[in-house]
Structure 1
C-alpha cells in the first residue's frame, strides 16, 4: 500500500484527485496540508466542522468511495507528518497484511479503522490513524486534538530510545554499504552526503568533488549543518586512513551522522576495510565508534537500525556478508 499512500499525497500536492475523488475537496485545499504545525490545527478544525455541521453516520459515510478516500488522505498525511519530524520509516498495509507483520500477540481491531495500518518496523510500532479520524467524525466522547494525538504516536516510537537516532543509523548503514560496494571493486568513493526525503527514506545521494585540498570535507560538514533546517537527520561519508579506537591503523569509511530536533546526536562511525588491491583481497571489518557516543539504553536500537541500513543497499554483485571478516588478517573465501 505504500504506492497508494504516495499516490494520494502526490495527488493532493498537485491539486488532483485519485480514482473516486474525495469528499470536501475545497475544504481539503483550504486545510493546506503543508507539514507545518499549523496544518494540524487546520485538520482538527476541518474534522470538527464536518461533525458539527453534518453529523455524519459511520456506515453511510464510509460507504462512499470519496469519503473513504478523504479519510485515507488524512491518515496518510498524519503519518507522513510523523515520519518527516521523527525520521521514522513507515510501511502501509491493509488489515490482513498488517496482522501478518505484527503476529498473533498484537491483535488489530476488527473495524474500519484497521483497513489501513502504518507500521514502523524498526521500532515495532503500528499506528492506526483512521481510528483517531473516525473518532473525530463519529465519536461521542472527548477526543485528543491532532497535535496531542501525533505527540502520543511519536512517544510510541521513542520507547527504546529517540527514534530519530534509529532512522539516522539506518541512513548511516545504507551510506556505508554503498561506499564499501564501490571500494570492493577498487573504485574511488567520493565524499558523499545522504539526505532523507519527506517520507523518511534515504534516497538523495550528493557526491562532492574531491580535489585533494580538503574542500570536499568542508563541503560535506557544511551540508550536514545546513541539513538541520530541513531534515531530522543526515549523514556524510568519506574514505580516510585513520587510527581506530581499537588501536590499529586502517583504511576506513567514516560516516558522520547528525540527528537534530529534541534529541540531537553527533556521531562518527568507522567502517574499516582492507583494500581491494591487497593480495589477500577486499574485506570488511567490525565497525567502530570513532567520535561521539550513544547512551547505553539506546545502543541496541541503534545497532539494529545500522544493520538494517546496511541490508537496505542491495549490492549489484557480491555482498557485505561475503566480504565481512572477523579480524584484520583473515582471508575472504572465494
Structure 2
C-alpha cells in the first residue's frame, strides 16, 4: 500500500497545483503500471460529478496493467467549522488483497479574500499503519516538485 499512498500523494499535489489558480479540478485518474510508469487520464464529462463517477467505476474495475490507481476529484468535506472545499482522494492497490485509502485535502479557494491555502489532509478508512501511509503520501506529493512548491507555499495547518 506504500507505493499506492505515494501515487495518491503525487496526484493530490497535482490537484492542489490545478486548484491553486482558482480553477475547478476536472476529475483525474492516475495509475501506476506494473512496469513502474505512471499514467493519468482527465475525466472530461459535461458534468463533473459524472466524471467522478466514471473514475470510481474505473477504480472498482481496475486494469490488469495497474498496480494501483487514484482518483482525485474536487468536492467538499465537513469539518468542525463547516463545509470546506477539498480534493477528495480515493486510492486502490490491486493484487491478491485489494486495499483502499481515502482522504480529503481541504483547501481555501483562490478568490477568498485571505487567498488560496492548503490544509492538512484528513485521512479516512485507513486499513494499515497511518504514520507509514502518511509518510508515503507526503513523499509522493513532494516528488511532484512544481506542485509541491505551490502546496508548501500555501500551507495553512490551522485547519
**Structure 2: stretches of 5+ with no match in the other structure:** none
Return the match for 1:249 from 64, 83, 86: 83
SS in 1 for 2:100: strand
Q: Considering only CA atoms, is the larger Rg found in Structure 1 or Structure 2?
A: 1
Does 2:96 align with 1:262?
yes
Does 2:74 align with 1:239?
yes
CA contact (8 A) 2:12 2:141 kept: yes
**Structure 1: stretches of 5+ with no match in the other structure:** 1-164, 329-334
**How many angstroms apart in 2 are the aligned matches of 1:262 and 1:302?**
19
Does 2:49 align with 1:218?
no
SS in 2 for 1:214: helix
**How many angstroms apart in 1 are the aligned matches of 2:132 and 2:145?**
22
Structure 1 pair 198/271, CA: closer, same or farther in 2 (3 Å)? same
**More RCO (CA 8 Å, sep 6+):** 2
2:153 matched residue in structure 1: 322
Structure 1 pair 213/325, CA: closer, same or farther in 2 (3 Å)? closer
Spell out, residue by residue over 1:245-276, the C-alpha distance to the aligned partner (whole angstroms, 9 max, x if none): x5632100001111122332122110000000
State the Cα distance separating 1:318 from its structure 2 match. 4.6
After superposing the two structures, state which structure 1 stretch, 252-261 or 312-321, moved more: 312-321
TM-score by length of 1: 0.45
How many pairs align?
159
CA contact (8 A) 2:26 2:48 kept: no
**How many angstroms apart in 1 are the aligned matches of 2:89 and 2:50?**
17
Bigger fraction of residues in helix: 1
Return the match for 1:187 from 9, 20, 23: 23
State the Cα distance separating 1:243 from its structure 2 match. 1.4
State the Cα distance separating 1:230 from its structure 2 match. 2.7
Structure 1 pair 316/168, CA: closer, same or farther in 2 (3 Å)? closer
TM-score by length of 2: 0.89
**How many angstroms apart in 2 are the aligned matches of 1:317 and 1:166?**
19
State the Cα distance separating 1:200 from its structure 2 match. 2.3
SS in 2 for 1:218: helix
CA contact (8 A) 1:191 1:210 kept: no
Does 2:133 align with 1:302?
yes
Structure 1 pair 326/262, CA: closer, same or farther in 2 (3 Å)? same
Structure 1 pair 285/316, CA: closer, same or farther in 2 (3 Å)? closer
Superposition CA RMSD, Å: 2.0
Trace 1:63-212 onto structure 2 (pairs within 5 A): 165-201=1-37, 203-212=38-47
State the Cα distance separating 1:226 from its structure 2 match. 2.6
